[in-house]
Amino acid sequence: MKDQSFSTRKGFLYRNEHFMRKVLVTGGAGFIGSHLVDALMSHKANVHVFDNLSSGSIENIKQWLKSPSFTLIKGDLLNPSDMGKLRLNCYDFIFHLAANPKVRVSSINPEVHFQQNVVATYNLLEWMRKCDSTSTIAFTSTSTVYGEAIKIPTPEDYAPLKPISIYGASKLACEALIIAYACTYGFKAIIYRLANIVGPRSVHGVIYDFIRKLKKNPKELEILGNGMQTKSYLYISDCIEAIILGLKKLKKQLEIYNVGSEDQISVKTIAQIVIEEMSLKNVRLKFTGGINGGRGWIGDVKNMLLDINKLKALGWKPKFNSEQAVREAVRHIIAEFH
């Protein structure tokens, strides 16, 4: 199945191919990061990827390894000597995607998200400060910073922000650090609060978990929680378009954008889509019942839908709704699964 990359949709991103001349992408071998790299490389940017390959994969970026305009730097933001591999003050944009993406891990070992999200972000900002960087930093945050928002859809100015997971708290801490550094040291910053992003190369999350479980046992599917958790899902191509358009339109020192679809889908419906796309019959759905009123795990937000009007005002709109995004992602992940 053909990967829906950005080589087929160049016109949307920007007319001036030199808009981004030299860029750094931390976590560029990961799911979202590698799709961002595809888009940047397809538009003639000089791309440096900084990745420790703990959750990312060389396979995701292998098509660019021999390109003279692509550089892979194997390194960890938690390792000061690795930070020394980065070139000083030469990037127009820094896309900071390096993080631990597994929300559930934080309820078991909060140290993981403190180190890999908060400390890693602090180290990157300190590197920018010490080298007197003039780069603009773009950060992929998360909808979980809102916690269980009372207002649905939830706008960017919703308050107070009360994340219910350590993961959400760590991302909110990163946002605060980035905002403070930008204001104190004079560089620009843009923060994207992402809904659930799905598509090819994803190796975690509900879709991947369902496919993995059904490959092991095609007769029964365990579903964490009561199955009624209802959230927004966005296809990866829509996400990347939003990220780059937001940067193209950036005029203020700081901007925050929600990035998601305009509707929701339940976990139970996702399970049914996966079963259908895997051509399985008579699959028993086994709900764990969940905790604290049907959550899949401690910190699981049961209802999430972002207000994306601010980003839509720039001219962006998702091409896939939640169900279409999920179904498209399921097809790709099934084809990739091994």
Phi, psi torsion values for 247, nearest 5 degrees = -70, -40
pLDDT at residue 7 tops 90? no
On whether residue 9 sits in a domain, the answer given is: no
Mean of the per-residue pLDDT values for the chain? 91
Question: What would the mean pLDDT of 126-135 be, rounded to a whole number?
Answer: 88
pTM for this model (two decimals)? 0.93
Question: What would the mean pLDDT of 128-136 be, rounded to a whole number?
Answer: 87
pLDDT digits over 253-275, tens only?
999 999 999 999 999 999 999 99
Q: Give the integer Cα–Cα distance in Å for 120 and 146.
A: 22
Using an 8 Å Cβ cutoff, are 238 and 331 in contact? Answer: no
- pLDDT recorded at residue 6: 41
Reading the block at residue 249, the tokens are: 């339109």
On whether residue 52 sits in a domain, the answer given is: yes
- pLDDT band at residue 10 using 50, 70 and 90 as cut-offs: very low
Task: For residue 204, count other CB atoms closer than 10 A to its CB.
Answer: 15
Q: Give the integer Cα–Cα distance in Å for 56 and 252.
A: 32
Q: Measuring CA to CA, which residue among 37, 45, 43 is closest to residue 91? A: 45
- pLDDT recorded at residue 294: 87
Our count of domains for the chain comes to 1
- pLDDT recorded at residue 107: 63
On whether residue 245 sits in a domain, the answer given is: yes
Percent of the chain surpassing pLDDT 90: 78
- pLDDT band at residue 103 using 50, 70 and 90 as cut-offs: low
Question: What would the mean pLDDT of 82-108 be, rounded to a whole number?
Answer: 81
Q: Give the integer Cα–Cα distance in Å for 13 and 334.
A: 29
pLDDT at residue 2 tops 60? no
On whether residue 266 sits in a domain, the answer given is: no
Reading the block at residue 34, the tokens are: 């590698």
- pLDDT recorded at residue 109: 80
pLDDT digits over 150-197, tens only?
999 999 999 999 999 999 999 999 999 999 999 999 999 999 999 999
User: Could you say which of 167, 181, 192, 208 is catalytic?
Assistant: 167
* Angle (deg, nearest 10), helices 322-336 and 267-277: 40
DSSP secondary structure letter of residue 162:
B
Residue 192 annotated as catalytic:
no
DSSP string for 52-118? --SSS-HHHHGGGTT-TTEEEEE--TT-HHHHTTSPTT--SEEEE--S---GGGGGT-HHHHIIIII
User: What is the span of the domain harbouring residue 103?
Assistant: 17-198+234-261+304-320
Q: Measuring CA to CA, which residue among 194, 222, 227, 198 is closest to residue 210? A: 222
On whether residue 55 sits in a domain, the answer given is: yes
Amino acid identity at 54: S
Reading the block at residue 29, the tokens are: 């071998």
Order of strands across the sheet that contains 46-51: 70-74, 46-51, 22-26, 93-96, 136-142, 189-194, 254-259
Higher pLDDT, 7 or 169: 169
Radius of gyration of the chain (CA): 19
On whether residue 147 sits in a domain, the answer given is: yes
- pLDDT recorded at residue 212: 97
231 CB-near residues (< 8 Å, 6+ apart): 195, 196, 264, 265, 301, 303, 304, 305, 322
pLDDT digits over 44-53, tens only?
999 999 999 9
- pLDDT band at residue 105 using 50, 70 and 90 as cut-offs: low
β-strands 265-266, 230-231 pairing? antiparallel
Check which CATH number belongs to the domain holding 38 and give it: 3.40.50.720
Higher pLDDT, 228 or 289: 228
Using an 8 Å Cβ cutoff, are 200 and 211 in contact? Answer: no
Q: How many angstroms separate the Cα of 147 from the Cα of each of 158, 160, 170, 174, 311?
A: 11, 9, 12, 16, 21
Question: What b/e string do you get for 160-182 counting C-beta neighbours within 10 Å, with b at 16 or more?
Answer: ebebbbbbbbbbbbbbebbbebb
- pLDDT recorded at residue 104: 66
pLDDT digits over 14-60, tens only?
444 555 689 999 999 999 999 999 999 998 999 999 999 998 999 99
